[in-house]
Structure 1
């Protein structure tokens, strides 16, 4: 039993490391060849995990070979447009200028019910509101609405807006992020002083704290298991 646990942990660590090396796209929006690699890695890891008679290297070596092949294909597709089209495919326009592209739907074997379902998921229940719909190489549908149906933008009303960046996380579950503090040229003492203004005297009491680009500090205290604040 102990041997099975150790082999499982080793294979788990190996698969996690390989998926990290192959890149974030492996976890999120998979291309067809990336999906194949992910499925094969899962199968290769499962075999030596279940059968202790199979050497551990018999599972790890093929996984590493697949990783090298996937990284090589990704590099080739990044450098060559022709190779990218062959390996990843091309996006397909299924709605153009407000009309269904029948030939493309037929070629993709993509029926109208599936298309309407994806449009509803994107909050476009009416096909008449859609100017373009593009089926991406990862299977997701991108929708460009008609100009009359898109959400109103500040530009439409000639309104100037202020810059909005990404808030910087300063505290997570009581742990101070020193790196982010240095990134915004602030110190631990500054943050302590700001939190003291709200009666918070210890970083460990803060569940989350962030600073937006306007300099506004947001924080939330931890909650006790039985209710109330820490």
Structure 2
């Protein structure tokens, strides 16, 4: 039992590292060849994990080989447009200029019900509102609504807007993120003073705190649904 336990941990660690090296994309965002590699790696890891009669190295070598093959294919796809179209395929336009391309639906084995379902998931219940619908190489459907059906933006109304950056996490579960404080060119003394303004005595009392690009602080205490915001 101990041998199985150790072998499982080793293979688990190796698979985690290899999947991390393959990139950060989710399963739904993988290209077909990447999905095949992920499935094959899981199968190869399961065999020596269950059968202790198979040397561990016999499971590790094929997994590493697949990693090398996947990385090589990815590099080729990055360097060559022609190779990328062969390896990953090309996007298919299912709706063009407001009209459904029936031939493309048949070619991609995509039913009208599949199309309507994907449109509803994009909050577009009426197919008449769609100018273009593009089936991407990873199977995701990209939808471009007709210009009359797109949400109004500040630019449409000639309204000037302020820059909005990504908020910086300052405290997570009582721990101060010193790296983000440095990015904001602030220090812990400043943070303590701002917390005191919100009647918070110590960062250890804070579940989450962040600073947005306008200088506003969001703060929520531990075990408390009450949240504070300050400028």
Give the equivalent residue in structure 1 for 2:73. 73
2-structure distance, mates of 1:89, 1:150: 29
Give the equivalent residue in structure 2 for 1:171. 171
Between the two proteins, the alignment pairs up a number of residues equal to 227
2-structure distance, mates of 1:83, 1:159: 45
Give the equivalent residue in structure 2 for 1:180. 180
Say which is worse superposed, 204-213 or 194-203, in terms of deviation.
Answer: 194-203
Contact 1:134 1:142 in 2 (8 A): yes
1-structure distance, mates of 2:175, 2:27: 27
Q: CA deviation at 1:25?
A: 2.2
* TM-score where L is the length of structure 1: 0.95
Give the equivalent residue in structure 2 for 1:41. 41
2-structure distance, mates of 1:59, 1:171: 43
Q: What secondary structure sits across from 2:71 in the alignment?
A: helix
Task: Please give the per-residue CA displacement for 1:49-77, whole angstroms capped at 9, x wherever unaligned.
Answer: 11111111111111111111111111110
1-structure distance, mates of 2:50, 2:197: 58
Change (3 A) 1:142 1:76: same
Aligned counterparts, 1:121-132, within 5 A: 121-132=121-132
Q: CA deviation at 1:26?
A: 5.6
Give the equivalent residue in structure 1 for 2:205. 205
Change (3 A) 1:220 1:186: same
2-structure distance, mates of 1:228, 1:152: 34
* TM-score where L is the length of structure 2: 0.95
2-structure distance, mates of 1:138, 1:111: 17
1-structure distance, mates of 2:115, 2:226: 48
2-structure distance, mates of 1:140, 1:79: 23
Which 4+ stretches in 1 moved above 3 angstroms?
Answer: none
Task: Please give the per-residue CA displacement for 1:134-193, whole angstroms capped at 9, x wherever unaligned.
Answer: 000010100000011111111111111111111001111111111111111111111111
Say which is worse superposed, 198-207 or 79-88, in terms of deviation.
Answer: 198-207
1-structure distance, mates of 2:44, 2:172: 37
Give the equivalent residue in structure 2 for 1:120. 120
Q: CA deviation at 1:27?
A: 4.9
Q: CA RMSD in A?
A: 1.6
Contact 1:26 1:38 in 2 (8 A): no
Segments of structure 2 that go 5 or more residues without pairing to the other structure are: none
1-structure distance, mates of 2:213, 2:59: 49
